[in-house]
C-alpha cells in the first residue's frame, strides 16, 4: 500500500469486497423463530443460535451496510437482531457464552461476551436509533457492577464464581463502562472505568517486563502467562476511554501502552509459543481482530498502515476464496464440547470490527495520544503480521 490513506477513504476502498463476501453469508443464516416469528441468526457449526455477541456484531454490520447503501431492509434486519440480543440477555444482565462448553449444559456467563458487544450496541443505538441496544448495554454495565471482586474494587470477575484476576477481562469491563457512560452519563461507570485503568497500569510489567500475564492470583502470582492476543485486547479496548481520563492518568496509560505494544510486536517476529501465547485457543494471530484493532487505533502511522494491509488482505482473500477464509485454524478435538470458535464467530467478529470502525467518527489516530505512543518501534522488520 503506497502512502497512508485516511480512514474514510480506506474503509470505502475495501467495503465493497467485504459486503459482497459477508452479507450473502449472513443472509443465508437468518432464520425466523417458529413460534414467535422473530428473526435470529443460526451458527451452523455451533448447531444453535448465534451467540449474543456475534449477533450484535452482525447487527452492526447490517446497520453499517444499510446506512452506506441506503437499504431500509438492512436497517430493519439490524434492529431485529438487536432485539434478539436484548431478548436473550440474561436476567442478570450478562450474556451466555456458548463456546467450548459441555454439550447439553447451560452457557457460561463470560465478561468477554459483554465487553465485545459494547461497541456494537453503542453504535446500533447511535446510528440506528435502537432503544434495545441502549437498554441492553446499560443492563450489561449494571451486571458488571455486581461482579466487582471484594479483594480489589478495580477487578471485575470474568466469570461468576472465579477467584482470580483475568486482566483483559477488566479492560472488557472498562470498555462497557465507557460506552454505557456515553449513553447514560452515570458517574458510577466513569469512576469504575478510571479505577480499572489505574489497576492495569499498576500491574503492567510486575511479573515480566513489558507484559501483562493473562491471569493473576490475588498475591500477584501468575495463573496463566503471557498472551499477545490478550495484551492486544487490553491495548485496543482502552482506546475509546482515553478522552475520559484526566491528563496525568492518560499520559501514564499511553506510556504503558507504548511499551506493551513494543513487547507485543517484538514477540510477533516469531510464531506463537508458550512464552508469547500461553492460551492455546488464541494462537491464530493472523485472524485476530484484537491485534488488528491495536495496530489500527494505538500506534503511529506505520502501524496503522500494517493494520490497513491486514484488513485489505482479508478483503482480497474473501473476494477470492469466499467465507472459508474465516474457517478456524484452532479446532476443538474434544467431542463432548461445543467448538471453541466457528466460522460464523470469526466472520462476525471481522464484520463487526469493520462496521464499528467505519461508523465511529472518533476512530483513527486519537488526538489524545502522546508522543510516547507514537515512538513504538524503530525497527519493525521481520514481524510476522
Give the pLDDT of residue 300. Answer: 84
Is 60 exceeded by the pLDDT of residue 384?
no
Which DSSP state fits 364? Answer: S
What is the C-alpha to C-alpha distance for residues 76 and 206, in angstroms, rounded to an integer?
49
What is the C-alpha to C-alpha distance for residues 71 and 65, in angstroms, rounded to an integer?
8
pLDDT band at 361; cut points 50, 70, 90:
low
Give the pLDDT of residue 360. Answer: 82
Q: Mark out the alpha helices in the chain (DSSP H runs).
A: 7-29, 52-68, 72-88, 111-128, 131-145, 167-184, 187-203, 228-238, 247-267, 289-298, 301-321, 343-359
Which of the two residues, 89 and 369, has the higher pLDDT score? 89
- All three cell numbers of 59: 447487527
What is the C-alpha to C-alpha distance for residues 68 and 179, in angstroms, rounded to an integer?
23
Give the pLDDT of residue 363. Answer: 40
pLDDT band at 160; cut points 50, 70, 90:
very high
Contact 325, 263 (CB under 8 A): no
What is the C-alpha to C-alpha distance for residues 166 and 179, in angstroms, rounded to an integer?
21
Which pTM was predicted? 0.91
Segment 53-57 shows an average pLDDT of: 98
Cα dihedral: 219, 144, 118, 323 (round 10): 70
Span 204-241, pLDDT tens digits: 999 999 999 999 999 999 999 999 999 999 999 999 99
pLDDT band at 4; cut points 50, 70, 90:
low
Percent of the chain with pLDDT over 70: 92
Contact 249, 198 (CB under 8 A): yes
β pairing state of 108-109 and 30-32: unpaired
- Using DSSP, state whether 154 is helix, strand or coil: strand
Span 315-359, pLDDT tens digits: 999 999 999 999 998 777 788 999 999 999 999 999 999 999 999
Is 50 exceeded by the pLDDT of residue 366?
no
Amino acid at each position: 500500500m503506497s502512502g497512508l490513506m485516511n480512514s474514510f477513504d480506506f474503509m470505502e476502498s475495501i467495503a465493497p469486497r467485504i459486503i459482497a463476501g459477508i452479507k450473502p453469508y449472513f443472509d443465508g443464516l437468518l432464520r425466523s423463530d417458529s413460534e414467535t416469528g422473530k428473526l435470529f441468526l443460526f451458527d451452523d457449526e455451533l448447531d444453535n443460535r448465534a451467540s449474543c455477541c456475534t449477533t450484535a456484531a452482525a447487527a452492526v454490520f447490517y446497520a453499517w451496510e444499510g446506512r452506506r447503501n441506503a437499504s431500509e431492509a438492512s436497517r430493519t434486519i439490524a434492529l431485529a437482531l438487536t432485539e434478539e440480543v436484548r431478548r436473550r440477555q440474561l436476567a442478570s444482565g450478562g450474556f451466555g457464552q456458548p463456546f467450548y462448553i459441555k454439550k447439553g449444559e447451560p452457557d457460561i456467563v463470560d465478561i468477554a461476551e459483554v465487553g465485545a458487544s459494547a461497541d456494537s450496541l453503542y453504535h446500533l443505538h447511535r446510528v440506528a436509533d435502537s432503544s434495545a441496544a441502549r437498554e441492553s448495554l446499560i443492563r450489561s454495565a449494571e451486571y458488571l457492577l455486581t461482579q466487582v471482586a471484594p479483594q480489589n474494587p478495580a477487578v471485575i470477575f470474568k466469570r461468576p464464581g472465579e477467584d482470580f484476576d483475568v486482566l483483559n477481562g477488566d479492560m472488557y469491563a472498562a470498555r462497557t463502562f465507557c460506552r454505557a457512560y456515553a449513553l447514560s452519563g452515570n458517574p458510577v461507570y466513569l469512576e469504575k472505568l478510571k479505577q480499572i485503568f489505574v489497576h492495569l497500569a499498576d500491574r503492567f510489567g510486575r511479573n515480566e517486563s513489558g507484559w501483562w500475564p493473562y491471569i493473576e492470583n490475588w498475591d500477584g502470582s501468575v495463573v496463566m502467562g503471557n498472551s499477545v492476543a490478550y495484551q492486544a485486547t487490553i491495548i485496543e479496548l482502552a482506546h475509546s476511554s482515553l478522552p475520559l481520563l484526566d491528563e496525568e492518568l492518560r499520559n501514564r496509560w499511553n506510556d504503558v501502552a507504548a511499551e506493551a505494544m513494543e513487547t507485543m510486536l517484538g514477540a510477533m517476529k516469531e510464531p506463537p509459543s508458550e512464552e508469547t501465547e500461553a492460551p492455546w485457543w488464541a494462537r491464530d494471530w493472523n485472524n485476530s481482530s484484537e491485534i488488528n484493532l491495536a495496530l489500527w487505533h494505538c500506534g503511529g502511522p506505520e502501524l496503522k498502515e500494517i493494520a490497513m494491509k491486514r484488513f485489505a488482505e482479508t478483503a482480497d482473500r474473501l473476494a477470492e476464496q469466499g467465507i472459508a477464509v474465516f474457517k478456524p485454524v484452532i479446532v476443538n478435538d474434544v467431542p463432548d464440547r461445543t467448538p471453541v470458535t466457528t466460522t460464523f464467530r470469526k466472520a462476525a467478529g471481522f464484520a463487526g470490527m469493520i462496521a464499528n470502525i467505519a461508523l465511529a467518527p472518533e476512530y483513527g489516530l486519537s488526538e489524545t495520544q502522546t508522543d510516547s505512543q507514537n515512538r513504538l518501534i524503530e525497527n519493525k522488520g521481520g514481524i510476522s503480521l
